[in-house]
Amino acid sequence: MHVSDLPIGVFDSGIGGLTVVRQMRRALPNEDLVYLGDTARVPYGTKSPATVVRFACEDTQFLADQQVKAVVVACNTASAWALSTLERRFDLPLFGVILPGVRAALAASRNRRIGVIATPATIRSQAYTRAFLARDDSLELVVRDCPLLVPLVEEGWTSGPVTEAVLREYLAPLLQRRIDTLVLGCTHYPLLRATIAAVAGPEVTLVDSAERCAEYVAEGLRQLGRLCVGRTRPGRVLPFVTDDTRWFDEQAAQFLGETPDPASRVALPIIEMR
Amino acid sequence: MHVSDLPIGVFDSGIGGLTVVRQMRRALPNEDLVYLGDTARVPYGTKSPATVVRFACEDTQFLADQQVKAVVVACNTASAWALSTLERRFDLPLFGVILPGVRAALAASRNRRIGVIATPATIRSQAYTRAFLARDDSLELVVRDCPLLVPLVEEGWTSGPVTEAVLREYLAPLLQRRIDTLVLGCTHYPLLRATIAAVAGPEVTLVDSAERCAEYVAEGLRQLGRLCVGRTRPGRVLPFVTDDTRWFDEQAAQFLGETPDPASRVALPIIEMR
């Protein structure tokens, strides 16, 4: 079997990374995908850097053991803190979600005032700030951590008065600074897109890191000669989780836009960090 | 050293269990306490039963290794799902938070309509329903899972319009049924007490399981002859966490009502469940 025929591995702290898988299914319909959601330890966005790095190494080791040809870190928090460690530890092409979002926002903004909303851990990492300013240090960046948005999505409250009130509170300082572009810096946030758009108003362009990540992976694999160009059958999605499969199986379609095969529950390899 | 001089172990998924410790410090001021918050894997309330049981066994094993004389499961979710397994596996007195809350609510209610709010996992366990109905099967119980309340407390939004809106939504079906007593079935909820009281109105008596648990532990240890009756110095609180200590050290005083010693980070023993 040629390496280009192997599946692509994708992991996230939980179920949010399926929004990346959804876009990858559109961009790369014939690729097989192995998805890992670390649902026993979700969320990552409120945990410390050292813990996020350790969890991300264990997730990547699991995918490497499944013989994947590349790994997509479909979690902004893990991309922010762990990508460089993963690149040192694993001999596999690795793709994060931050860089593609940054590129898309730079292309979209006209007034050079860009907002980023993300989990506390992602914001604390300054990964977005550093990636933006390395490309254009004249930008005005307004970042905000939004710890309630992941729980709201997981509760299923993607619209309605409570979610609008939370978003008005979180977005107020960004809108006061008149941003024209807003990066949804967490793979859960695409499910709030309509409500975020309503609160942010029509002058603000929303950049969905999930969507941009899929294009970035397609481009990267093409450059590496690892696209499975010969396959004509539709690709498959093989889901794994670390907690009970039932909740995942019930919720997955909402994120993925199609019903995946039933998930399998797995124990992850344990990695001791030094 | 006599067994009664050993510390009492207390664990929770995170920081909420410190509300139980706070009440234990009042009820048992001379007892030494060892606290474990599993902050790397918080929350438990949205995880599956099998995962909650495994985590609770690992937490209890850690405390047993610290030579404690008893273990308080200061987490409603772990009490609901894991207490019977812990009682089988560990040769230690074990105290949960559910039974004391049930007893206090039964004593407080006049119209026999009692509400319970808790995490999804606690509600799904039916632990409260079974404990209430075993004591009085003529009760009318109205239970509601409230997955957003723990994230709201951890965000620090314990009052204000968003929290009021969330609570109005969650409490509406309970208030429509004219409950006169409401059990706060999660150790995070005492921090929302003032806002819950404002939304529920003056006719509803709030039962704080943390407060009742401390009395229950004092009574239980007295019966077992394990109270440290001879000690005159104030007891100490020794905190351990599984994620970074800084966030815990910053937040702990809000839950505990005093500043504890700095926490130590620990790796828990790994238990394979059969």
What single letter denotes the amino acid at residue B105? A
What single letter denotes the amino acid at residue B74? A
Chain B CB within 8 Å of residue A39 CB = yes
All residues of chain A having their beta carbon less than 8 Å from the beta carbon of residue B243 are 47-48, 51
Residue A1 is predicted with a pLDDT of 80
**For B41, which residue in chain A has the nearest alpha carbon?**
A41
CATH topology of domain B98-210: Rossmann fold (3.40.50)
> What mean pLDDT do residues A155-182 have?
95
Nearest to A48 among B51, B154, B243 (CB): B243
For B192-221, b where at least 16 C-beta lie within 10 A, e where not — what string?
Answer: beebbeebbeeebbbbbbbbbbbbbbbebb
- Banded pLDDT at A272 (limits 50, 70, 90): confident
pLDDT at A105 over 90: yes
Task: Write the ipTM.
Answer: 0.83
Residue A274 is predicted with a pLDDT of 66
pLDDT at A73 over 90: yes
- Banded pLDDT at A53 (limits 50, 70, 90): very high
B174: distance to nearest CA of chain A, Å? 19
Residue A154 is predicted with a pLDDT of 83
- Banded pLDDT at A3 (limits 50, 70, 90): very high
CATH 3.40.50.1860 assigned to B3-96+211-265: yes
Nearest to A148 among B151, B161, B169 (CB): B151
- Give the least confident one: A146-155, A215-224, B30-39, B112-121: A146-155
Residue B273 is predicted with a pLDDT of 77
- Banded pLDDT at A273 (limits 50, 70, 90): confident
pLDDT at A203 over 80: yes
Residue A34 is predicted with a pLDDT of 98
pTM here? Answer: 0.90
CATH topology of domain A98-209: Rossmann fold (3.40.50)
Q: Do A148 and B155 lie within an 8 Å CB cutoff?
A: yes
* pLDDT tens track for A17-43: 999 999 999 999 999 999 999 999 999
Q: Do B162 and A165 lie within an 8 Å CB cutoff?
A: yes
Which residues in chain B land under pLDDT 50? none
> What mean pLDDT do residues A211-235 have?
94
Rounded-to-integer distance, Cα B32 and Cα B235, Å:
4
All residues of chain A having their beta carbon less than 8 Å from the beta carbon of residue B246 are 48
Domain extents for chain B? 3-96+211-265, 98-210
Rounded-to-integer distance, Cα B255 and Cα B35, Å:
13
Q: What is the three-state SS of chain A?
A: CCHHHCCEEEEECCCCCHHHHHHHHHHCCCCCEEEEECCCCCCCCCCCHHHHHHHHHHHHHHHHHCCCCEEEECCHHHHHHHHHHHHHHCCCCEECCHHHHHHHHHHHCCCCEEEEEECHHHHHHCHHHHHHHHHCCCCEEEEEECCCHHHHHHHCCCCCHHHHHHHHHHHHHHHHCCCCEEEECCCCHHHHHHHHHHHHCCCCEEEEHHHHHHHHHHHHHHHHCCCCCCCCCCCCEEEEECCCHHHHHHHHHHHHCCCCCCCEECCCCCCCCC
B159: distance to nearest CA of chain A, Å? 13
Closest CA to A189 of A10, A17, A9: A17
**For A266, which residue in chain B has the nearest alpha carbon?**
B51
